[in-house]
Amino acid sequence: MAPSTPDVRPIVIDTDPGVDDALALMLALRSPEVRVDLMTTVAGNVPVDQGTDNACRLLTLLNADPWPPLVRGAAHPLNQSLETATHIHGDDGLGGLTRLVQPDGTPMFPLPDHPPVGQGAAQHLIERAEAEGPALTIVALGPLTNIAQALRQAPDTMRRVGHLIIMGGAVAVPGNVTPTAEFNIYVDPEAAAIVAASGMRMTWVTLDVTRQTRLTQAFLDRHMGGQDTAQVRAIRQLTQSWFQGPPPHPGMPLHDPLAMAVAIDPEVVSCTSLPLQIETRGEHTRGMTVADRREQRHGANNAPMVDIALQVDVDRMLSLFAERVLNPQPKTGPAPKPQARVVVVGGANVDLTVQTPNLPQSGETVQGDTVHTAFGGKGANQALAAKRAGAQVAFVGKMGEDNYGQDLSRFLRQEHIDISGTRKTSEFPSGLAFITVDRHGQNLITVASGANADLKPEDLDGLASLLSLSQVLVTQLENPLATIEAALQQAKTAGLITILNPAPAQTLPARMAPLIDYLIPNEVEATLLSGQIIQTPEQAGQGARQLQQAGYRNVIITLGEQGLVYLHEDAPVHLPGLTVQAVDATAAGDTFVGYFACAIAEGQALADALAFANTAAALSVTQFGAMPSIPKRQDVFQRGQI
């Protein structure tokens, strides 16, 4: 995920996209204070499939940039059949928005082609909670089924979430489904009861305050005026049913937008901390939010204390809504593509590097400089390179339960790389790499694999959920071959583009070739795989042809300072290296692979992706160390060679 700053808070939106959910999403995506890292859908206002389609349409309408991961969640409540609110929100949940057409008959707000939609909302919520912890805010705009399922699976992890904001409940006012129950709680009271009793830090934004913040026709007309953008047309369609019929019209209550506003500007409401429980059995009170408001509470009340919004600054809320939703700065240009997402399965090491005047020969002792300690491993390096290239990245590997493993995990989290799929073991130490670098930047590397060699196929149990949101899988040969093959097979089944960097060099079984879309060896690895000596661009072209004949679709052979060779329409193409002052070539190949993976995930043409990666790799050798040498995207563009 993109780096967090004190002024930008990562949020997850759990939603059942109806009309007010749509307005809340508009508010979130137009507010610089928050960054939407994940959207999960749940059955509520509409069935979950319709709600997921609605979310795709809305993200397209709003030019979401980047497109957050979108995951389909629970299709029905925990213990009862689903009751929807299509009588309020329309059959499509969006007030008929999906039926609007252009003059030529094409849909005005179409469902995008092949939107990236994952499965298993609860697991993704847990992964976000694990990755962000106290920095994360979850805004729940629908029934609480997904949240409850996540709490059942990983209660301690979910309790690490910094803030859960819930649109739901009614404390001192009537319900809107029954005399006592608000819709979101009524649909799944068992889930709401689990969440209320969980001990998470939460704020309940109830009907007590949402009914006070109403959107009127006059307010819309005053702030949207004569605008005729796609978003304005959508807002008018979404809200029109609330203003039909004889006046006076009290206006549309901004239920979900107010909950979203609390995530953006907490001072928009005033909260009271009270014990809260959910009634799940009463004949007339099922779904009731029971807050103990007595001054003297006699007897034991074991319900956790939660913040309940009972007062709202209406003017502040409406001003925020008008500024962000009704008067947004228009975006120009085509809708952006979904964010590039890359999964890396591979090794992670702590690198111990010493610089020497020359590399030692067999039996020779050379005097070295100070030992530098840094983080590396081909998998971790490639993950960081893809991240710095601009992708959102998940790393899957194995580390020891030692200080090295703790430091590695902490570093990757600080770089905002998702390590929820990484496993820990007490049976093996974390991987270590011993690196000697000479004054010309050439190196010798010895690796003690440790836990990397213990990554088993069964350790990939969380890989499917990561693949479901990604475009590219990258892997190498620092883990057992059976595990690499299993990862490639899962990725191909999920429809991803696969990249194998066959390092450290070893032969590969022929059955793996169809699983690999891009094979990226260096000259040493290509020599082993092709059976031909490869040292020059001409030899690399011959080797690439040989490997392509062996079943590898696309072969890219990197040649260090000589650049690279690839095949275009069966003809070898040599892309020369850039002229730089080399200091340390340790992570150059990994930088190339990570940047290339990001470019392919973005949909760049092959030639452009190779130029992008070639420049990044050249810049990496000008700095000492593995991960510290990996350049950032803006530095690569500033180099002016792509």
User: Is the per-residue pLDDT at 331 higher than 50?
Assistant: no
Say what the pLDDT of residue 7 is.
61
Residue 200 lies in a domain: yes
User: Same domain, yes or no, for 213 and 346?
Assistant: no
In degrees, to the nearest 5, what angle opens at C-alpha 556 toward C-alphas 550 and 559?
120
Among 342-346, 348-352, 591-595, which is the least confidently predicted range? 348-352
Burial category of 568 from C-beta neighbours within 10 Å (exposed 0-12, middle 13-18, buried 19 and up): exposed
Among 32-36, 158-162, 367-371, which is the least confidently predicted range? 367-371
User: Is the per-residue pLDDT at 114 higher than 80?
Assistant: no
Q: Which residues pair with 167 in a beta bridge?
A: 205
Say what the pLDDT of residue 299 is.
52
Residue 2 lies in a domain: no
Say what the pLDDT of residue 334 is.
47
Say what the pLDDT of residue 112 is.
81
User: Same domain, yes or no, for 90 and 43?
Assistant: yes
Q: pLDDT tens digits for 159-214?
A: 999 999 999 999 999 999 999 999 999 999 999 999 999 999 999 999 999 999 99
- Gyration radius of the chain's alpha carbons: 28
Per-chain mean pLDDT for the chain: 89
Phi, psi (5° rounding) for residue 424? -115, 150
Last residue of a domain, one of 266, 294, 326: 326
Q: Average pLDDT for residues 313-338, to the nearest whole number?
A: 75
Q: Would you say 295 and 243 are in contact if contact means Cβ atoms under 8 Å apart? A: no
CATH code of 409's domain:
3.40.1190.20
Give the best-scoring range by mean pLDDT among 434-448, 464-478, 579-593: 464-478
Number of domain units in the chain: 2
441 C-beta neighbours (distance < 10 Å), count = 20
User: Is the per-residue pLDDT at 359 higher than 50?
Assistant: yes
Q: Average pLDDT for residues 125-141, to the nearest whole number?
A: 92
CA distances from 59 to 37, 91, 156, 422, 545 (A): 13, 20, 32, 30, 43
Residue 98 lies in a domain: yes
Among 58-72, 137-151, 193-207, 374-388, which is the least confidently predicted range? 58-72
CATH code of 139's domain:
3.90.245.10
User: Is the per-residue pLDDT at 444 higher than 90?
Assistant: no
CA distance 77 to 82: 6
Give the best-scoring range by mean pLDDT among 65-69, 110-114, 353-357: 353-357
User: Same domain, yes or no, for 159 and 38?
Assistant: yes
User: Same domain, yes or no, for 376 and 322?
Assistant: no
User: Same domain, yes or no, for 174 and 140?
Assistant: yes
Phi, psi (5° rounding) for residue 503? -135, 140
Q: Which residues pair with 308 in a beta bridge?
A: 204, 272
Residue 455 lies in a domain: yes
Rounded to a whole number of angstroms, the distance between the first and last alpha carbons of the chain is 25
CA distance 212 to 255: 9
User: Same domain, yes or no, for 217 and 68?
Assistant: yes
User: Is the per-residue pLDDT at 512 higher than 50?
Assistant: yes
User: Same domain, yes or no, for 152 and 70?
Assistant: yes
Q: What's at 583, amino acid-wise?
A: V
CA distance 525 to 509: 15
pTM of the model: 0.68
474 C-beta neighbours (distance < 10 Å), count = 35
- The DSSP-derived string for 445-489 is EEEE-GGGGG--GGGGTTHHHHHTT-SEEEE-SSS-HHHHHHHHH
Q: Which residues pair with 566 in a beta bridge?
A: 556, 573
User: Is the per-residue pLDDT at 58 higher than 50?
Assistant: yes
Q: Would you say 467 and 490 are in contact if contact means Cβ atoms under 8 Å apart? A: yes
CA distance 608 to 616: 12
Order across the sheet with 518-519: list the strands: 392-396, 341-345, 472-475, 497-500, 518-519, 554-558, 564-568, 571-575
User: Is the per-residue pLDDT at 4 higher than 50?
Assistant: no
Give the rounded distance of the alpha carbon of 416 from its chain centre.
10
Q: Which residues pair with 557 in a beta bridge?
A: 565
- The pLDDT > 70 percentage for the chain reads 94
User: Same domain, yes or no, for 346 and 322?
Assistant: no
User: Same domain, yes or no, for 381 and 283?
Assistant: no
The residue ranking higher by pLDDT, 245 or 528, is: 528
User: Same domain, yes or no, for 315 and 352?
Assistant: no
User: Is the per-residue pLDDT at 298 higher than 60?
Assistant: no
Residue 360 lies in a domain: yes
Q: Average pLDDT for residues 467-477, to the nearest whole number?
A: 93
Catalytic residues: 590
User: Is the per-residue pLDDT at 77 higher than 60?
Assistant: yes
- Tokens at 158, concatenated: 């979910």
User: Same domain, yes or no, for 296 and 366?
Assistant: no
Residue 4 lies in a domain: no
Q: Average pLDDT for residues 508-518, to the nearest whole number?
A: 96
- The DSSP-derived string for 530-584 is HSS---SHHHHHHHHHHHHHTT-SEEEEE-GGG-EEEEETTEEEEEPPP----S-
Q: Please give the residue range of the domain that contains residue 446.
A: 341-638
Last residue of a domain, one of 292, 326, 360: 326
DSSP label at residue 102: -
Q: Taking Cα atoms as reference points, which of 136, 166, 131, 169 lies closest to residue 148?
A: 166
The residue ranking higher by pLDDT, 14 or 604, is: 14
Map tokens 């947004």 to a residue.
328
Q: Would you say 612 and 599 are in contact if contact means Cβ atoms under 8 Å apart? A: yes
Say what the pLDDT of residue 361 is.
82
CA distance 621 to 638: 16
Say what the pLDDT of residue 23 is.
97
- The pLDDT > 90 percentage for the chain reads 64
In degrees, to the nearest 5, what angle opens at C-alpha 617 toward C-alphas 615 and 618?
65
Last residue of a domain, one of 326, 357, 385: 326
Q: Average pLDDT for residues 490-501, to the nearest whole number?
A: 95
Q: What's at 124, amino acid-wise?
A: H
CA distances from 339 to 64, 170, 336, 391, 411 (A): 9, 38, 8, 7, 23
Residue 334 lies in a domain: no
Residue 335 lies in a domain: no
DSSP label at residue 322: I
Among 165-179, 234-248, 268-282, which is the least confidently predicted range? 234-248
User: Same domain, yes or no, for 277 and 141?
Assistant: yes
